[in-house]
A and B are shown apart, each in its own frame.
Chain A
Amino acid sequence: MRAEDNQFQSFAIQQAGQLLANPPMFIYEFQRNMESTNPLPPGKCAGLNYHFLGGIIIVPLPDITSAANISLKLRLHPEGRLYPGLPQVDVVGGYWKSFLASMIEDKNAKDTDTDTKITKADLHGMFCGLTMASSLEPRVRLFWGYKYSNLNIDINLNKTQDILGSKVNSFNGRFNEHTFSAGMEHTYGQDKRWIIEGGYGVMNNLLSTKVSWYLKYVEVGLNIYPESVFIMQPELNFHYNF
């Protein structure tokens, strides 16, 4: 066996180990890519966001084919409207659901079947939060916020499987996280800005950073999750702000 094969094998075992240890947390790494928490651009009241991919080039988990997702941003207060110095306040939230998961279900599978089959597969998650933005300069804004994330995973097998020494017949779980984030947005052109953002999940001690280029309709970014197996995850979002 070549060295690369060994590396891939150990990588796969590491992945499987993480999935078994805490399935929702494993999936949450991908959900985090869909959670857009940066503030609406100045002058915009609302925005819709669709996430195309994130770290999924390697593992076919939530992506355009399997995870339908939508997130919404609403501006509650424009900066300085009620009182000078009061930040822009946006409420953000989103939901995703894996449609591919339900497609691989076999409701008629029995534990006497020769093959292992999935009798139920449900993967979905949501997030909501509040983001505030304050201008440092006309083209530079600082923002900070809070978000609550929730993820549910429910996968049942028709019979018990031995996976890496563990007896497994279902992957069930719920995952909650409270994340505080802060970042900076710099406008460098008409409808062009780059954003750097860092976050800390207090319940699971999850660190995250993100650098992205936010254009009129598209956001291209790179998420960095230091404690994750996939440390760097690309991000491509489509948004429409109005």
Chain B
Amino acid sequence: MTKSIRKFLLLVLFLFPARAFCEPAAIILSFTGSVDFRAAKDAEWKNAVKGAQIPDSGSVRTGKESRAALFFKNNTTVWLKENTTLEIQSKNIIDNTISLNTGSIKVRVPHLRFREKFSIRSRTALAAVRGTIFTADANESGDLSSLNVLFGEVKLDIDNKKSSLISQGNGFADGKVLLLSRESELMGLEDWSPATQDSERRAILKDNENKRNEIRQFAVQTNAAEREVAAGRDQIKEEDFAAGRTLTDVHGNLVRVDQRLDRPDNKTIQVINVVKRTSYSSGGLRQYAYNGTSSARFDSLIAKVTFNSALPDQINQFPGFFQQNDKTLKLDNAELIVANTTEDGSVFTIGFFGKRNPNSNSDDINSDLYVGTLSADATQTGQKKLFNLKLNSDLSVTGLTHFTEDTTIKSIESPDSTSGELYHYNANRWVDAANVNSKIWLTSENFVINNSGKIRNISDFTNGSSDFESLLKNSAGEVAIFAKQDVNNSPSNIDATNFLGGNATKKNIDLVIIPDLILSVIKSLATSGDALKTAY
């Protein structure tokens, strides 16, 4: 059987010798510009024509601004850039070698069958490939100056001494194997076809890049949207609750009130109530005189309590937590700060600061009064200082004067209302802790108003037809607070300046406080009844 096959092959070679040995090694697939070819080393150069056949030992050269593409029998394509010369050495269909004398080529060897060979030779190097796309450059001396492997691998022999296997994504230059630079990669991947305009060679790459950018952009937008949702979620957790309302105060000023409940840390709960007015009329005051300006103003309240242990993240877990830890949970610090924060550099502030004696098991917190005007310095504005106020270990508060309650004199209270009007005033005298001769009166006028600024009557709550929630949504408290000088053991109309940080600018603090935040908390607790029963 083997002998029969051998005889058959010999017969084929005998009958078709020209077919076996005269096949062209390659054909010129396309070209542009000045391209020549010759059939042998010593043959004349001829102008290239499309489809011209290049036999073994034939050569092709491209001139300035010229390109060509060759196609080999084994389906290999070779693209030549300008000023490139190569010679084809084709022993047979399965063994092809290209000698790159000078210039740049891109080679695509799609697939080789068993024993098939394809190699690129320069004066000093031999690159053997199979299933590879790569580019090669040779200088004018015929030395391989660079080789970039785009896909597959190349076995490279330099001077018949050193052999390197260069895999895709890597290249050879300056005697070393290196990772391809992005530019080398793009240069290799671009369209080398002679017919393609130079400006269009990277069109597909750019299109791909644009598509990737679109995907990246989509990812960025999706991320941004997710971050927004996450930020909203975090804000809800951080703030727990927020509320706001626009109404008219007792003086007839348009007021915007914003409230929020914050958790500065896991032991602390803080409520901030901010009141903004575009102008200020004090016509609603009945007892204590306002001597300041009528321009736009900004009043704030900060109430902060700090416990001795961490509180649950969710406010609706508070009742269970407090119930379970009622023996050990204690209030460490309590602060109530009110301020006229209209001016950055002059924040008239009144605060009550107290802390529990950590060595006692008592729940009592004794607080004192601290009054002053917070001014701006090189590092902080007065407003920023307001949020950083804290009770020091020596019972001082930086920037404010410490007062203790004067127990030698009765506080002043408004007489009980006979009409049921929800209005009340009061005054208490306080003594400078550092100077017993310096005394001030802390006075306030307190109103319960509706959203139109009309003072509420107790009957609105006891006899009204509105439901409780609607009533509260249409109600607010207003408190106007003053620090007045002590004249003849009574609060005078003059604003107190007889202490460090005195109220020389004649400011008062006029706060409108809405019950909306508390209402939100109550509703939240009411709708999570299980939390009230379940231990934390």
Binding site for B on A (CB under 8 A): 41-44, 78-84, 135, 137-139, 187-190
Give the docked Cα–Cα distance between A188 and B182 (Å). Answer: 11
Cα distance, A187 to B180, chains bound together (Å): 10
* B111 touching A80, Cβ below 8 Å: yes
Knowing A135-B168, A138-B185, A139-B180, the reply to whether A84 touches B150 (Cβ < 8 A) is no
Can you list 22 residue pairs at the A/B interface with Cβ under 8 Å? A42-B152, A42-B153, A42-B168, A42-B169, A43-B165, A43-B166, A78-B131, A79-B151, A79-B152, A81-B111, A81-B112, A81-B130, A83-B111, A135-B151, A137-B189, A138-B151, A138-B185, A138-B189, A139-B185, A187-B169, A190-B177, A190-B179
Expressed in whole angstroms, the Cα–Cα distance for A81 and B180 within the complex equals 22
The answer on a CB contact under 8 Å between A138 and B178 is no
A83: nearest chain-B partner, CB-CB: B111
Which residues from B are CB-within-8-Å of A42? 152-153, 167-169
One digit per residue, 1 when the CB lies within 8 angstroms of any chain A CB and 0 when it does not, for chain B 128-170 equals: 0011100000000000000001111100000000000111111
Q: A81-B131, A138-B150 are in contact. Are A41 and B170 (CB under 8 A)?
A: no
Interchain CA distance A79-B110 in the complex, whole Å:
10
B477 at the interface (CB under 8 A from A): no
- Whether A43 and B111, one on each chain, are in contact in the complex, defined by CB atoms closer than 8 angstroms, is no
Whether A80 contacts B178 by the Cβ 8 Å rule is no
User: Chain B: which residue is nearest A42 at the CB level?
Assistant: B167
Q: Residue of A at shortest CB range from B176? A: A190
Contact at B131–A137, with CB atoms within 8 Å? no
B188–A138 contact, CB under 8 A? Answer: yes
Give chain A nearest CB distance to B265 CB in angstroms: 18
Q: Are B110 and A84 in contact (CB under 8 A)?
A: yes
Does B167 contact A41, Cβ atoms closer than 8 Å?
yes
Which of B149, B169, B179 counts the most chain A CB atoms within 10 A?
B169
Q: How far is the CA of A83 from the CA of B153 in the complex (A)?
A: 15
Q: Is the CB of A138 within 8 A of B169?
A: yes
The answer for the CA separation of A81 and B109 in the assembled complex, in Å, is: 10
- Provide the residues of chain B in CB contact with A43, threshold 8 Å: 153, 165-168
Q: What is the minimal beta-carbon distance from A181 to any residue of chain B, in angstroms?
A: 22
Residues of A within 8 A of B111 (CB): 80-84
Cβ-defined contact, B165 with A189, below 8 A: no
Closest partner residue, chain A, to B148 (CB atom): A138
Q: Which residues of B contact A (CB under 8 A)?
A: 110-112, 130-132, 149-153, 165-170, 177-180, 185, 188-189
* B152/A78 in contact, CB under 8 A: yes
A140 to chain B, nearest CB (A): 8
The complex places the Cα of A43 from the Cα of B177 at a distance, in Å, of 14
Contact A80 B180 (CB under 8 A): no
Hey, which chain A residues are within 8 Å of B152, CB to CB? 42, 78-80
From B131, B178, B188, A79 is in contact (CB under 8 Å) with: B131
A138–B181 Cα distance when bound, in Å, is 11
Q: Which A residues are in CB contact (< 8 Å) with B166?
A: 43
B130: chain A residues at CB < 8 Å are 81
Q: Which residue of B lies closest to A186 (CB)?
A: B169
- Which of B168, B170, B185 has its CB near the most chain A CB atoms (within 10 A)? B168
Q: A42-B167, A82-B111, A190-B179 are in contact. List 11 more A-B contacts (CB 8 A).
A: A42-B152, A42-B168, A43-B153, A78-B152, A80-B110, A80-B111, A83-B111, A138-B169, A139-B180, A187-B179, A190-B177
Q: How far is the CA of A41 from the CA of B165 in the complex (A)?
A: 12
Complex Cα–Cα for A83 and B113 (A): 10
Residues of A within 8 A of B131 (CB): 78-81, 84
Across-interface contacts of A79 in B (CB, < 8 A): 131, 151-152
Q: How far is the CB of A118 from chain B (nearest CB, A)?
A: 42
Output the least CB separation between B43 and chain A (Å): 34
- In the complex, how many angstroms separate the beta carbon of B65 from the nearest chain A beta carbon? 28
Contact across chains for A78 and B179 when beta carbons are under 8 A apart: no
State how many angstroms separate the Cβ of B497 from the closest Cβ of chain A: 53
**Residue in B112, B149, B165, B177 whose beta carbon sits within 8 Å of that of A138 in the complex:** B149
Q: Cβ of A189: which chain B residues have Cβ within 8 Å of it?
A: 179
Once the chains bind, are B178 and A190 in contact (CB under 8 Å)? Answer: yes
Q: Which chain B residues border A138 with CB–CB below 8 Å?
A: 149-151, 168-169, 180, 185, 188-189
Chain A residues, CB < 8 A from B185: 137-139
What CA separation (Å) do A43 and B132 show in the bound complex?
11
Which residues of the other chain, B, contact A139 by a CB distance below 8 angstroms? 168-169, 179-180, 185
Cα–Cα, bound, A80→B112 (Å): 9
In the assembled complex, how far is the CB of residue B278 from the closest CB belonging to chain A, in whole angstroms?
A: 52
A residues near B165, Cβ cutoff 8 Å: 43
Which 10 A-B pairs have CB atoms at the shortest separation, nearest pair first?
A43-B167, A42-B167, A139-B169, A80-B131, A43-B153, A138-B169, A84-B110, A81-B131, A138-B150, A187-B169
Instruction: Please report the C-alpha to C-alpha distance between residue A135 and residue B168 in the assembled complex, in whole angstroms.
Output: 9
B209 CB, nearest partner CB in chain A, Å: 11
Chain B residues with CB under 8 Å of A135's CB are 151, 168
Max chain B Cβ within 10 angstroms of own Cβ: one of A135, A138, A188: A138
Question: Considering only CB atoms, which chain B residue lies closest to A140 in the complex?
Answer: B169
* Closest CB in chain A relative to B446 CB, distance in Å: 45
Nearest A residue to B188 via CB reads A138
Interchain nearest-CB distance for B172 vs A (Å): 12
Contacts of A41 in B (CB 8 A): 167
Closest A residue to B113 using CB positions: A82
**Nearest chain A CB to B139's CB is how many angstroms away?**
24
Q: How far does the alpha carbon of A84 sit from the alpha carbon of B153 in the complex, in Å? A: 14
What residues on A are CB-neighbors of B189 within 8 Å? 137-138
In the complex, the chain B residue whose C-beta lies closest to that of A44 is B167
